[in-house]
Amino acid sequence: MTNKQSVTIYLIRHGEAKAAWDQDPDPSLSEKGKQQSELLKEEILPDLPSDFEAISSPLLRAQETAIPLKEKLDFELSINDTFSEIPSPGIPLSDRRDWLRAVFDANVKELQEPQLLWRNSIIESLKLLQNNTIIFSHFMVINCVVGWIKNSEKFVSFHPDNCSITKIIRVEDKFKILNLGRDFTTTVQ
């Protein structure tokens, strides 16, 4: 399918989670994360087009990050598993931190089949978007997209901060990064 129109996509990393990745498979936002979501609302409002769709990962921290903006603009939030956190099948919760640290240093070609399928699903889903779209998602999802657009061999190519906004555009079938979200050095807790 060839896309004739331009589509702007806002990739938003969720606010700070209440628990670490190896402590809870689906934590809600911390109080700080809720405050970050409120600030996000004010940051993104001046830049949003009048027409957009909104998608969220099914995980609580992503959905909760959308709440202040959703309350302000009264839009429908679609839940889409494609934009969920990187899959870690068979990895016990207690071992996820060490596993994730290894993924941070991996090249795309070193990813295992579940992670490659997840990555390809994200990319193909972006290609199908027909409207300006906000996606409330995760660190690794955003890295997947940015690395793909930059044609980077490294899987993790930057460190989007909580509630940072990475803005990309698709014109016809070409993607371009307009603005990387705020960057910070993430530590896997």
Task: Tell me whether residue 156 is in a domain.
Answer: yes
Tokens of 109: 């070609």
Domains held by the chain: number: 1
Give me the tens of pLDDT residue by residue for the chain, a chain 189 residues long: 555 589 999 999 999 999 987 788 899 999 999 999 999 999 999 999 989 999 999 999 999 999 999 999 999 999 999 999 999 999 998 898 889 889 989 999 999 999 999 999 999 999 999 999 999 999 999 999 999 999 999 999 899 999 999 999 999 889 999 999 998 865 554
Nearest to 55 by CA among 138, 146, 145, 134: 134
Task: Tell me whether residue 22 is in a domain.
Answer: yes
Task: Tell me whether residue 67 is in a domain.
Answer: yes
- Strands laid side by side in the 77-79 sheet: 77-79, 53-56, 133-137, 6-13, 165-171, 174-179
Task: Tell me whether residue 87 is in a domain.
Answer: no
Specify the CATH number for the domain of residue 29: 3.40.50.1240
Instruction: State the residue range of the domain holding 35.
Output: 6-76+93-131+140-179
Task: Tell me whether residue 11 is in a domain.
Answer: yes
Task: Tell me whether residue 187 is in a domain.
Answer: no
